[in-house]
Amino acid sequence: MRLEGKVALITGAAAGVQGELMGFGGAAAWLFAGEGAKLVLTDVNEDMGRRAEAQLREHGHDAVFARLDVTSEEDWEAAISLTMDTYGRLDILVNNAGTGGRLRLEDTTEETWDGQMDVHAKGAFLGMKRAIPEMRKSGGGSIINVSSIYGLVGSQTSTAYHAAKGAVRILTKSAAAQYAGENIRVNSIHPGFCRTPMTNASYQDPTHYDALLQRIPMGRVGQPQELAQGMLYLASDESSYVTGSELVIDGGVTAQ
pLDDT per residue as tens digits for the range 128-143: 999 999 999 999 999 9
The residue-averaged pLDDT of 86-90 equals 98
Q: Which residues pair with 119 in a beta bridge?
A: none
* pLDDT tens-digit map of 64-85: 999 999 999 999 999 999 999 9
pTM of the entire predicted model: 0.97
Q: What is the pLDDT of residue 92?
A: 99
Q: pLDDT band at 5, cuts 50/70/90?
A: very high
Q: What is the pLDDT of residue 160?
A: 98
On whether the CB atoms of residues 52 and 224 are closer than 8 A, the answer is: no
Cα 92 from Cα 179, distance rounded (Å)? 14
Q: By three-state DSSP, how is residue 218 classified?
A: coil
Q: What is the pLDDT of residue 99?
A: 95
The residue-averaged pLDDT of 216-242 equals 98
State the catalytic residue, choosing from 87, 161, 233, 241.
161
List Cα–Cα distances, 2 to 38, 122, 238, in angstroms. Answer: 12, 30, 8
* pLDDT tens-digit map of 18-66: 999 999 999 999 999 999 999 999 999 999 999 999 999 999 999 999 9
Q: What is the pLDDT of residue 87?
A: 98
Residue 105 DSSP symbol:
G
Asked whether residue 108 carries a pLDDT value surpassing 90, the answer given is yes
| DSSP H helical ranges for the chain | 24-34, 46-58, 73-87, 110-116, 123-137, 159-179, 200-203, 206-214, 224-235
* pLDDT tens-digit map of 161-180: 999 999 999 999 999 999 99
Q: By three-state DSSP, how is residue 248 classified?
A: strand
Residue 161 among the catalytic residues: yes
Asked whether residue 234 carries a pLDDT value surpassing 90, the answer given is yes
Asked whether residue 101 carries a pLDDT value surpassing 90, the answer given is no
Domains and CATH numbers, the chain: 7-249 (3.40.50.720)
Please provide the average confidence, as pLDDT, over all residues in the chain. Answer: 97
Q: What is the pLDDT of residue 45?
A: 97
Cα 87 from Cα 138, distance rounded (Å)? 12
* pLDDT tens-digit map of 195-220: 999 999 999 999 999 999 999 999 99
Asked whether residue 157 carries a pLDDT value surpassing 90, the answer given is yes
